Amino acid sequence: MMGFCRLAKFNSLCLIIILVVVSSEENAQVLKDRASLLSFMSGIVSDPDHALESWNSSSFQVCNWTGIRCDSRNDRVVELDLSSRSLRGTISQALSNLSFLSVLDFSGNFFGGQIPAELGALSRLKQLSFSSNLLEGKIPAELGLLRRLVYLNLGNNQLMGEIPVSLLCNGSSSIEYIDLSNNSLSGEIPLKNQCELRKLKYLLLWSNRLVGRIPPALSNSSKLEWLDLESNSLMGELPLEIVYKMPQLQYLYLSYNFFVSHNGNTNLRPFFSSLVNCSNLQELELAGNNLGGEIPSIIGDLSTSLVQIHLDENLIHGPVPPDLSNLVNLTLLNLSSNFLNGSIPTELCRMGKLERVYFSNNLLSGEIPSAFGDIPHLGLLDLSQNRLSGSIPDSFSNLSQLRRLMLYENRLSGTIPPSLGKCINLEILDLSHNRISGIIPSEVAGLRSLKLYLNLSSNLLNGPIPLELSKMDMVLAIDLSSNNLSGELPPQLGSCIALEYLNLSGNHLQGSLPISIGALPYLQVLDVSSNQFIGEITQSIQASSSLMELNFSFNNFSGNIPNEGIFALLSKDSFQGNSGLCGSISGMPTCRKKRGGGFIILPILLTLLGTPILCIFGYPLVLKSRNRRRLAIFSSGNLEQDEEQEREQPKYPRISYRQLTEATGGFNGSSLIGSGMFGHVYKGVLRDNTRIAVKVLDSKMGGEISGSFKRECQVLKRTRHRNLIRIITTCSKPDFKALVLPLMSNGSLESHLYSSHGSNHPLSLVQLVSICGDVAEGVAYLHHHSPVRVIHCDLKPSNILLDDDMTALVTDFGIARLVKGGDEASMNDSSSFSSTAGLLCGSVGYIAPEYGLGKSASTQGDVYSFGVLLLEIVTGKRPTDVLFHQGSSLHEWVKSHYPYKLEPIVEQALLRSPPPDGPAYSRKIWGDAILELIELGLMCTQYTASTRPTMMDVAHEMGRLKQYLSNPSTLTIEEVSSKVVPLN
């Protein structure tokens, strides 16, 4: 019995020892996890959101740290999720010691350096996401050791080299999601015949430099739902054997490669036959390849789930098959830029859900089917650059959702149907370069909805310009050139206050130019050449602060042309063919001085007559003026908010109307420094020598001006950021509203980009990148960090001001949207208040394409405008120049040169902003930076809003480029090499 007891005591002691040993090992592992995390934290150089603040705790328990989840049984770290925390630094190889880790997510940060190969030791890892960072170098082959991996996302980085074979062929069939998109990966897709990714559902490799053919082994992935290989250099015949074995395929993107059709690029039928098996197919994109052959009738047998088809920019010929009408749920059909011929099938109009139809740049003939008017949701119809004949159907009046109608460069005849005036949402109407005759119907001229442009040029139109045209108070461009219009130019056109471009050349217009035309506050281009205008050119044109291009040639103008104002920027070519003109412009006849005594007598008569009149009428006016000024002192002051909000806000200095009048010389024209849609901006100096800019809102705008004033007050009062203009105070009376802002000594970005604004010192590339970085930071603050979230809606060079240090400040929030709530979802839903109902979301050329289809303002719209700004800076082209002269957006123009025809654009950019002297700089480095700007601009201006980066992403990228240019010797050329971007 005693022996048994001794044995029992021994066993208990052994058990205790074992438990102590096991517990010690577990604690050691927990401590090892902690040490790994702290090692990782030591590589973080920036934590703006204080995400790792809890990691500084002295506690050994890591399970309460931000972003960490532990196993409840042994306190081992199983999840490390620090996504979208704005972290900067490198990824430590010490993370490979977290042996229980199943989820590792660092997406949406700014991690640089390489992906540690040691992470291949995380044998339990199921989810790995490093997307949207600044990672570089090659993808480690060791990641192929992660046999349990289900989700892998390395997209949107700067990775290069070939895709490791082990990543796609490692004996594991667990992987379901692979995203390596938007990098600079090269080589072929390394999927061998013996590899079987049978659980794979998503394969995203778009926007890389992949070559070769699509591997046949991909057909083993029969569960694939999403295949995106867009924007690479893949080649060969369309992969019919592969897609035939993917019955669950929903999204197939093969655009912008070098694919061809079968039978020597003559037969598309085999491929479309293989797609019939994909009963869930929703989107098919084959644009921008070399596809030949005809569109087969079997296309009508594809899934009725299809909502988008993109076959544009190919070599497809033959007729448009009527069988397309079987795709009853189609919303977008793009067949543009091919060689299609024959007539447009009337059967297509049975697709009642169509919203966008692109048939432009083909060889289509015959008449436009009147049945188009029966498509209830049609918002865009582009039939331009074909051989269509006949008249414009009256049935278009039924299209209540129509916003863009483009029929230019056809052979249309007849007259403009007055019924088009019933298209109350129409924003673009382009009927130019046809054979249309008759007058411009007053119903069409009175379309107030036109907000982008009206182009009726190069037709056979006659009669006068209708007075109703003045109702287009938000239209940005009007082109009536090369017609047979006659009569005088209505002065009421001065009501088109948003007008930027007006071309009336090549008509039979008579009379003198109205003063109101020169007074248009936003007008940049005016062409009245080849008409029969007479008289002197109005002084209001010379005084305009917005005009940049003028053409008065071949008229009957007379009088003196001074070498001042906008005229100082013009050559004699702008005035040729006017024998009565003279002046000091080079090449122009000198004006003769007139003699006579009338000029001596006239001042004497005015003095004698003026004194009694002044005594009779002047005194009551002085009294009235004093009373008005006294009222102004009491009515000016702080922002218009209720008393409770006012107490919470900092107090603003009181500046009276009288002080503003004195500071600006009575708002004299010599103090005018800019004009916009809602008013004028004057420079001034207060008595304490404070230099100010006074934005006076035009009272003629009525209720719209009140809304604009209130919006700017709300934005400027509630936001604080170094890259946003600050407000000094406001001055508000019933008939006068003004914002008082600090005067920016270096003017606007526009004044530095274009010599016509008087800047003789072009900005260097370093300065331009710094300015764009400032703008991106300011807008990112508005979108993501401001107390009240703001969508700017009007980003462009003239709304970016530069202070003494050339720091950029975003200004002009007159049409901004303020968003209720702080979450991104509310912004995307556009739950906005103080919105500008009925006003255009921006300026022509900078407006996101979805706005033209009736979508509400969103942060993605600002991203688009910023992308246009980048492309404008690099190309030196105004977006309006490209739009009006070439019929395409700046994005489309640059995209047509991308990626193999960019050299002339880069060379021109280098001429405007050459690299400085010094061993650290070279044309190659400068050229690479310019390519980075082009690619970022193209990414921001993608047609699909959801694929654009956020302004936070853009700000991060600009910060990286700014850092590189400030010290290029610290990085290699490869680290800033161009990467292909997704173009949709």
Residues at the binding site for ATP are: 695
- Which residue of the set 774, 794, 862, 928 is catalytic? 794
> Which is nearest to 127 in space by CA: 116, 115, 139, 143?
143
Contacts of 600 (CB under 8 A, 6+ apart): none
Active site residue 394: no
Cβ pair 841, 848 in contact under 8 A: yes
CA dist., res. 494 & res. 479, Å (int): 16
Q: What single-letter DSSP state applies at residue 748?
A: B
Cβ pair 505, 574 in contact under 8 A: no
CA dist., res. 435 & res. 416, Å (int): 11
Q: Is 296 helix (H, G, I), strand (E, B) or coil?
A: coil
CA pseudo-torsion sign 310, 312, 313, 317: positive
Cβ pair 17, 62 in contact under 8 A: no
CA dist., res. 355 & res. 369, Å (int): 16
Read off the tokens for 249: 């395929």
Contacts of 715 (CB under 8 A, 6+ apart): 788, 790, 813, 816, 818
First to last CA, the chain: 87
CA dist., res. 899 & res. 931, Å (int): 10
Cβ pair 192, 165 in contact under 8 A: yes
Cβ pair 353, 328 in contact under 8 A: yes
Please, is 341 exposed, middle or buried when counting C-beta atoms within 10 Å of its C-beta (0-12, 13-18, 19+)? middle
Q: How many CA atoms lie within 13 A of 708 on its CB side?
A: 28
CA pseudo-torsion sign 836, 840, 846, 851: positive
Q: Is 238 helix (H, G, I), strand (E, B) or coil?
A: coil
Q: Tokens 């394969």 belong to which residue? A: 203
Query: Strand 251-253 vs strand 356-358: parallel, antiparallel, or unpaired?
Result: unpaired
Cβ burial 527-547 (10 Å sphere, 16+ → b, else e): bbbbbebeeebbebbbbbebb
Please write down the HEC assignment for all residues of 841-860: CCCCCCCCHHHHHCCCCCHH
Cβ pair 308, 283 in contact under 8 A: yes
Question: What does each C-alpha distance from 964 to 37, 370, 725, 774 come to in angstroms?
Answer: 30, 58, 27, 16
Cβ pair 925, 973 in contact under 8 A: yes
Would you call the peptide bond into 899 cis, given omega within 30 degrees of 0 as the criterion? yes
Q: Is 10 helix (H, G, I), strand (E, B) or coil?
A: helix
Residue 422 CA to its chain's centroid (Å): 30
- What length does the chain have? 984
Cβ pair 265, 293 in contact under 8 A: yes
Beta bridge partners of 258: 235
- Positions annotated as catalytic residues are 794
